[in-house]
Amino acid sequence: MDFNKPHIYLRTILKTGKSYIGKHNGNKGNYYRGSGIDWIIAYKEYVIEPESDLKEIILESVEDISKLNEREEFWLKKYDAANNPKFYNRTNRTRGWTIVTKEQREKLRISHLGKKQTEEASQKKREKMKGKTKHTEESKKKIGKKNSIPKPFGFSEKLQKPKTDQHKENLSISKSKRPIVQILNGEIIKEWRSVAYASRTLNLSQSNINTCVLYGGIYKGFEWKKLK
C-alpha cells in the first residue's frame, strides 16, 4: 500500500482499542491527524508518539481523487462506524473537505462571474434566519456536558500579568528554554527540551503546562516538572 496516494485509512489507538476511519489526499509528508471530535479528544489524551501509540492501515487506495468522498462513505457504512462502539466516528456520512476538480472549479468561477445577490434575496435570507437559534437542544446538552468537566489546574490564571515579585521570577524561569519532564504515575516517561517544544509537539496548551511546571498539578493526566 502506498501512503502517498489518495486513500481511505483506518487508525487505531492502541491504548483504547478504538478506531477511526478517514480520508487522506496522499500529499507526501503531510500527516493529517483526523477531524472527528471524539477522535481528536482521544488522540490528545492517549497519543504521544504516533509511531508507537497508533496502528494504521489503508483500507483502499483511490486512483481518482474525486471519488475519495464516495469511497470514505462506503467504508463507514461497511463498518457501520457511527453505531459501532469500537469506532470514534459519529456519522456514516463523509465530512470535511470536498474534492473539486480544476474543470469543476473553472465552471463554478465562470457561472458566478458578474452575478450579484439581489436585495430581495438578501431580505429573504434575513427573514429566514430571524428567531433561529444557533444550537439545537441536543447540541446545547452536549456543550453543557463538555463545560461541566472541571478545567485543568491553573486554567484561568493570567500568567501574562505578574502579581508579585515571586510570580514575575517564576515567569522569567518558565520563558527560558530549561528542559522539563513529563510524568505518568510517578514515573518519568519523556524529557522535553522546553515547555514550548512539548506544547507544539503534543498540540497541548503551553500555558497549562507552564502552570503545572511552576505550581504543580495535573494536566491531561500527566505531571509536568522542571528537569533537575
Q: What is the dotted CATH code of the domain comprising 165-226?
A: 1.10.10.10
Using one digit for the tens of pLDDT, what is the confidence trace for 31-67? 677 778 889 889 988 998 888 999 999 999 988 888 8
pLDDT value at position 75? 95
pLDDT value at position 13? 94
pLDDT value at position 96? 60
CA distance 190 to 187: 9
pLDDT value at position 28? 57
pLDDT value at position 197? 86
pLDDT of 209 over the 70 cut: yes
pLDDT value at position 9? 93
pLDDT band per the 50, 70, 90 thresholds, residue 195: confident
Using one digit for the tens of pLDDT, what is the confidence trace for 73-110? 999 999 999 999 999 998 998 876 555 666 777 887 78
Using one digit for the tens of pLDDT, what is the confidence trace for 116-134? 778 888 888 877 777 666 6
pLDDT more than 70, % of the chain: 79
Domain residue limits, the chain: 7-104, 165-226
pLDDT value at position 159? 42
Backbone dihedral region for residue 92 (phi beyond 0: left; psi -120 to 50: alpha; all else: beta): alpha
DSSP class per residue in 30-85: -------HHHHHHHHHH-SSHHHHEEEEEEEE-SSGGGHHHHHHHHHHHHTGGG-T
- The DSSP symbol for 187 reads E
Q: What does pLDDT average to over the chain?
A: 80
Q: In what order do the strands lie in the sheet with 222-226?
A: 187-192, 180-184, 222-226, 218-219
* CATH, domain 7-104, list 2.140.10.10, 3.40.1440.10, 1.10.420.10, 3.90.226.10: 3.40.1440.10
pLDDT band per the 50, 70, 90 thresholds, residue 151: low
User: Which amino acid is present at 227?
Assistant: L
The mean per-residue pLDDT over the stretch 159-174 comes to 59
pLDDT of 219 over the 70 cut: yes
**Run of H or E including 213:** helix 206-215
pLDDT value at position 170? 62
pLDDT band per the 50, 70, 90 thresholds, residue 212: confident
The model's pTM: 0.45
